[in-house]
Amino acid sequence: MEKKQDIRVHPITRVIDDINRIFFKMGFTLVDGPELETEYYNFDALNVPKDHPARDMQDTFWIKPSKDFAGVERRLMTTQTSAMQIHYMEKNKPPLAIICPGKTYRHEATDATHEMQFQQFEGLFVDKNISLATLKSVLNKFFDEFFEKDIEVRFRPSYFPFVEPGAEIDISCFKCKGEAGCPVCHGTGWIEIMGAGVVHPKVLNTMGINPNEWRGFAFGGSVERLAMLKYGIDDIRLFYSGDLRLVNQF
Ligand SMILES: [Zn+2]
């Protein structure tokens, strides 16, 4: 007798699949990139100054250079997926729309919401005649479909070196309408979800894209955070514990 195969898909893989599927439907191209990166792609090309505290702030895993690589630019484990955008813009001219999920590394203490290795996803689109309203409608569409609910999106001003202006993105709570005691939004009705902004003209210039002619929008967030929200998981460390009691629920 043929045994029926029991296929389980890890929640992180599910979320990455959802991200790719939803953005692919909106016309985005899926882009992959290296986990071992040079300082140029991870920081310099993204307008992070040499002495900027972000290089320490992110507590980067720098790779010890071996004798064989004397004189070669120092390397690090990617601290964010934005470097993939630079690789892509070097080879492709606008208009463009890409989505890049990938592993990132930061040397920090682990707790219920922090891991040293985690997954980010990053989106970028460069076109003429687009505005923040375009970014808002793209994100709105994504969250509506991801949470299978009518989700509202709001922007709050923030700072990231590679965008100007930058924004924190909040979404309306998918569990309640701002009720006291809600474990997801803590009664505020809003959930902090990702960062976004208008691509800094310096970054476009570095890539040979004329910022007077083209506008770029970028957004990025944590895959684990989306998975924790969607599936009600309260400790990020569970994803990488190898505990089958977690995976067997999916
Ligand atoms: Zn709520």
Please give the distance, rounded to the nearest whole angstrom, from the Cα atom of residue 230 to the centre of ligand 1: 13
Give the pLDDT score at 172.
Answer: 94
Query: Which among 177, 130, 133, 179 has a CA at the least distance from the CA of 151?
Result: 177
pTM for the whole thing?
Answer: 0.85
For the segment 180-191, what is each residue's pLDDT rounded down to a tens digit? 988 888 899 999
> What is the pLDDT at residue 55?
73
Give Cα 207 to chain centroid, integer Å. 21
Of 62-66, 85-89, 120-124, 177-181, which one has max mean pLDDT?
120-124
Distance 178 CA to ligand 1 centre (A): 5
pLDDT at 61: 84
The domain locations on the chain are 11-34+81-247
Structure tokens at 42: 């991870």
Give dist(CA 140, CA 136) in Å, integer: 6
Q: Which CATH fold topology does 11-34+81-247 show?
A: BirA Bifunctional Protein; domain 2 (3.30.930)
Half-sphere exposure in the Cβ direction for 104 (13 Å, CA): 25
Residue with the larger pLDDT of the pair 213 and 242: 213
Distance between Cα 104 and ligand 1 center (Å): 29
Give the pLDDT score at 28: 97
- If you measure from the C-alpha of residue 191 to the centroid of ligand 1, how many angstroms do you get, rounded to a whole number? 8
46 vs 40: CA distance, rounded Å: 8
Vertex 233 angle, CA 231 and 235, to 5°: 155
Residue 185 C-alpha to ligand 1 middle, in angstroms?
4
Residue closest to 46 by CA, chosen among 208, 200, 210, 197: 200
Taking the centre of ligand 1 as the mean of its atom positions, its distance from the CA of residue 173, in whole angstroms, is 5
pLDDT tens for 42-87 read: 888 888 888 776 676 557 888 887 777 667 778 888 888 888 888 8
Q: What is the pLDDT of residue 79?
A: 85
Other Cβ atoms within 10 Å of 169 Cβ, number: 23
- Kindly give the distance from the C-alpha atom of residue 79 to the centroid of ligand 1, in angstroms, as a whole number: 31
From ligand 1's centre to the CA of 225, what distance in Å?
A: 15
What are the residue ranges of helices labelled H in the chain? 11-25, 39-42, 54-57, 83-91, 132-147, 201-206, 223-231, 244-247
